[in-house]
Amino acid sequence: MSAPPRPATAHATPSAERAAAEFTRRFGRAPLGVWSAPGRVNLIGEHTDYNDGFALPFAIDRRTWAAVAPREDRRIRVASTFAGDKSVELPLGLLDPARLAGWSAYPLGVAWAFGRLAARGGVDVCFDSSVPVGAGLSSSAAIEASIAIALNELWGTNLDRSALARIGRLAENEAVGAPTGIMDQTAALQGTAGAAVLLDARTLHTRAVPLGFAAAGLEVLVIDTRTAHAHAGGGYGARRASCERAAQVLGVPALRDVALARLEAAEALLDDETFRRARHVLTENARVLAAVTLLDAHGDPARSGDALARDMRAIGALLDASHASLRDDFEVSTPELDLAAESARAAGALGARMTGGGFGGAVIALVPTARNAAIAEAVTRAFAEAGYPRPQLFTVTPSAGARRER
């Protein structure tokens, strides 16, 4: 006999309401409010952020909700529908990034990263989420950003969104121990409906770039391969170290400062592997800027339908080139990710690429809405034939960034 279902709330699917109801069920009182932040896909610009380069992520219509209420004392307590019924509780004064562990390192790391501003009072927090965890859609930035905007309001700290993104990154780097860049937090905090966020990771300047996919009869299909990735593991850090080595040898602060035209000269100075890592970063930065040029032109009402179709095909080609570069030069793809991208393409996607840090996770494909179902079926079939676990497929739409819900 199977175990009886865990007594939960009346809300079957993750939502702001369910976060609030779970808060009440667990803590015996109502939350003051619910704040939320989205997951993201990165349209293009992978492993560029920590090289001071460019990325073009967008916030998706899957979110993490944080139901929050202040406490009388100076303690912080966090719970999540993702983590069973146990909560984690600590005095705010004892938050030590080196001693935080497990899932609670993300939200508690954010509270720690507020620094002395965190002396403003205790809180209870309960999370609910519809962002798949560990799929490369940045459930980590979603949880960080949701609590960051909640604390910013409760504590009256008045930090702007780019400061909150840095707080999220600090938490992930120091408390979680994942040496990630700032792209994920930027997308979660700065995303807007219908647009991607062009991030200049050096200046942290952002600009909304309208995507117009729906108007072009296109959508973005996510293929979650359900294979694990672990950024805290060695692969990500090793790539970062290669990039830093390349920049050092080339005598620049970051690979962002190497013009594409210098690529050939760089080859003589670097060992083969370091050169290929650098080549990925340089060409990927160029692909981001090319995609932005195409998307900006797309917004021009004088542009003909034919030109739009051509632009979208060109964006698809950039996605393909990005995937090939991540696979061959940066070597962060996996057989599952390659198959997802190839089978989507073969079935009619305009382009497809792995999204997120790699070593597993998800692929995005730019697909004609009319062919979405057929492409999804073809990908699922290809996975079955290869003996891989059944992938999870869903479309995502560019959505609003972090906000208060109620």
Of these partners, ligand ADP, Mg ion, none, which one is at the site of residue 14 (CB under 5 to 8 Å by kind)? none
Q: How far is the CB of 237 from Mg ion (least distance, A)?
A: 14
Q: How far is the CB of 184 from Mg ion (least distance, A)?
A: 6
Which of 49, 184, 320, 329 is flagged as catalytic?
A: 184
Q: How far is the CB of 138 from ligand ADP (least distance, A)?
A: 4
Q: How far is the CB of 44 from ligand ADP (least distance, A)?
A: 17
Compare residues 316 and 357 and give the one whose CB is closer to Mg ion: 357
Of these partners, Mg ion, ligand ADP, none, which one is at the site of residue 51 (CB under 5 to 8 Å by kind)? none
Residue by residue, what is the 3-state secondary structure of the chain? CCCCCCCCCCCCCCCHHHHHHHHHHHHCCCCCEEEEEEEEEECCCCCCHHHCCEECEEEEEEEEEEEEEECCCCEEEEEEHHHCCCCEEEEHHHCCHHHCCCCCHHHHHHHHHCHHHHHHCCEEEEEEECCCCCCCCCHHHHHHHHHHHHHHHHCCCCCCHHHHHHHHHHHHHHHHCCCCCCHHHHHHHHCECCEEEEEECCCCEEEEEECCCHHHCEEEEEEECCCCCCCCCHHHHHHHHHHHHHHHHHCCCCHHHCCHHHHHHHHHHCCHHHHHHHHHHHHHHHHHHHHHHHHHHHCCCCCCHHHHHHHHHHHHHHHHHHHHHHHHCCCCCCHHHHHHHHHHHHCCCCEEEEECCCCCCEEEEEEEHHHHHHHHHHHHHHHHHHCCCCCEEEEECCCCCCEECC
Q: How far is the CB of 135 from ligand ADP (least distance, A)?
A: 6
- The backbone region for 138, taken as left when phi is positive above 0, alpha when psi lies in -120 to 50, beta otherwise, is left
Of these partners, ligand ADP, Mg ion, none, which one is at the site of residue 252 (CB under 5 to 8 Å by kind)? none
Interface residue list for ligand ADP (CB under 6 A): 64, 80, 82-83, 103, 106, 127, 129, 133-140, 143, 231, 356
Compare residues 127 and 155 and give the one whose CB is closer to ligand ADP: 127
Compare residues 62 and 371 and give the one whose CB is closer to ligand ADP: 62
Indicate if 73 belongs to the active site: no
Compare residues 80 and 333 and give the one whose CB is closer to ligand ADP: 80
Compare residues 80 and 162 and give the one whose CB is closer to ligand ADP: 80
Interface residue list for Mg ion (CB under 5 A): 138, 140
Q: How far is the CB of 331 from ligand ADP (least distance, A)?
A: 19
Q: Point out the residues that are catalytic.
A: 184
